[in-house]
Amino acid sequence: MAKRPLSDYTQFQRVVSQARSIVALTGAGVSAESGIPVFRGAGGLWRTHRATDLATPTAFRANPALVWEFYHYRRDVAFNSQPNNAHKALAKYEKICKEQGRQFHVITQNVDGLHKRAGSENVLELHGSLDKVICTKCKQIEVNTENPICEALRGRGDPSKRDQDLPIIPLEELPKCSECQALVRPYIVWFGENLDPDVLDRSRQLIESCDLCLVIGTSSVVYPAAMFAPTVVERGKPVAEFNLNEDAFDDAFSFYFSGPCGVTLPKALG
Ligand code: BJW
Ligand code: ZN
């Protein structure tokens, strides 16, 4: 199939400046330039494990200490990362829209908190957040930004180590619920788990009512987020895709901007 020609920034700027309700759907690629590894491809390994194999309830049941070690590493990377020019461009454009009485929302699959730290206010976090935990017993959700989250995880999580070279962390030393003292887990939506129904409802409403959708730094293989942009196309509204990799582009969209989104987004929204 012939390659889709890349889009014209001036033409996109006309469309974005006239849109009344814009949704930006973001994925791991938006945080890649902040140093946070993406999930699929070369960056998606932690030690010998695929990140997506550890992000499951089955993996947590089988080895909560290993999954907590992985998430301690993820929390440490995210908490020490800074928003990049892509996060900042989205936050800046949201402010412009607000001043002009237009709607701008970010729906993110990311759990790193960088959109909010960049100043975006209208953010829906589809897959949870690294700065929260949920109790495995009483289901209480708590914000927890302690790093490390418990003493046993201090100095752990190094991706260059081998699992078997480190002592196993006993269950009773893993993070506990402040209410009932049972084991807590990261407040993250793992494969096979339902998304928060309220977050999902609000996301669907935005997708059903927006007149422009930006799809930024996602491989669009994980549902239900993977359905959002096709739904906008079905409604006859434009979708603009920003991805490092031209092969990732969906042929049904209206605009394609290839390259690091820390470069392409500020140019497109500038
Ligand atoms: C750049 C860049 C730069 C790089 N600039 N670009 C069959 C059909 C339909 C559904 C299912 C099915 N079988 C199973 C399901 C359900 C399942 C699913 O979708 N599976 C698919 C894999 C098929 N979904 C679920 O289970 C969801 N729950 C659900 O649907 O409940 C109901 C249900 C249950 C069971 C069965 C059926 C229905 C929950 C999904 C939870 C996803 N969780 C994760 C991990 C947790 C987060 C964490 O720990 O951090 O979320 S998985 C992982 O993938 C993570 C991400 O948010 C998510 C999406 O990945 P993303 O963001 O797209 O990252 P990458 O790495 O894939 O892509 C990065 C992109 O950036 C690439 O394109 C690069 O080119 C680009 N890039 N640098 C611009 N600088
Ligand atoms: Zn509890």
Q: By three-state DSSP, how is residue 156 classified?
A: coil
Q: Which domain holds residue 251?
A: 8-36+81-127+193-270
Tell me how far apart the alpha carbons of residues 89 and 178 are, in angstroms, rounded to a whole number: 38
Of residues 3 and 16, more confidence is placed in 16
Residue 127 appears among annotated catalytic residues: yes
Cβ of residue 16 lying under 6 Å from some atom of ligand 1: no
Relative to the alpha carbon of 141, which ligand is closest? 2
Q: Whose CA is nearest to atom 66 of ligand 1?
A: 39
Cβ of residue 29 lying under 6 Å from some atom of ligand 1: yes
List the binding residues for substrate. 71, 74
Same-domain check for residues 65 and 135: yes
The answer to the question of residue 122 being in a domain is yes
How far, in Å, is the centroid of ligand 2 from the Cα of 183? Answer: 7
Token pair, residue 111, equals 């759990």
The pLDDT assigned to 44 comes to 85
Q: Is the ipTM of this complex over 0.90?
A: yes
Cβ of residue 59 lying under 6 Å from some atom of ligand 1: no
* Rounded mean pLDDT, 12-18: 97
Tell me how far apart the alpha carbons of residues 128 and 124 are, in angstroms, rounded to a whole number: 9
Same-domain check for residues 205 and 262: yes
The pTM of this model reads 0.97
The residue from 151, 173, 188 where one domain ends is 188
How far, in Å, is the centroid of ligand 1 from the Cα of 51? Answer: 11
What tens digit of pLDDT does each residue of 90-110 get? 999 999 999 999 999 999 999
Token pair, residue 270, equals 């500038």
The answer to the question of residue 259 being in a domain is yes
Which CATH number is 202's domain given? 3.40.50.1220
Decide if 78 contacts 96 (C-beta within 8 A): no
List the binding residues. 71, 74, 109-112, 135, 138, 177, 180, 217-219, 243-245, 261
Q: By three-state DSSP, how is residue 241 classified?
A: strand
Which of 72, 87, 105, 127 is catalytic? The answer is 127
Same-domain check for residues 183 and 201: no
Decide if 96 contacts 72 (C-beta within 8 A): no
Same-domain check for residues 229 and 260: yes
Q: By three-state DSSP, how is residue 161 classified?
A: coil
The answer to the question of residue 257 being in a domain is yes
Which region holds residue 182: left if phi is over 0, alpha if psi is between -120 and 50, else beta? beta
Q: Is the pLDDT of residue 217 over 80?
A: yes
What tens digit of pLDDT does each residue of 235-251 get? 999 999 999 998 888 88
What are phi and psi for residue 64, nearest 5 degrees? -60, -30
* Rounded mean pLDDT, 7-26: 97
Establish how many alpha carbons lie within 13 A of residue 5's alpha carbon, considering only the half-sphere containing its beta carbon. Answer: 3
The total domain count for the chain is 2
57 prior amide bond cis, ω within 30: no
Decide if 28 contacts 218 (C-beta within 8 A): yes
How far, in Å, is the centroid of ligand 1 from the Cα of 222? Answer: 3
Task: Using pLDDT thresholds of 50, 70 and 90, give the confidence band for residue 226.
Answer: very high
Relative to the alpha carbon of 178, which ligand is closest? 2
The pLDDT assigned to 1 comes to 47
Looking at every residue in the chain, the average pLDDT score rounds to 95
Same-domain check for residues 160 and 259: no
How far, in Å, is the centroid of ligand 1 from the Cα of 220? Answer: 7
End-to-end CA distance of the chain: 32
The pLDDT assigned to 249 comes to 84
Cβ of residue 217 lying under 6 Å from some atom of ligand 1: yes
What tens digit of pLDDT does each residue of 125-154 get? 999 999 999 999 999 999 999 999 999 999
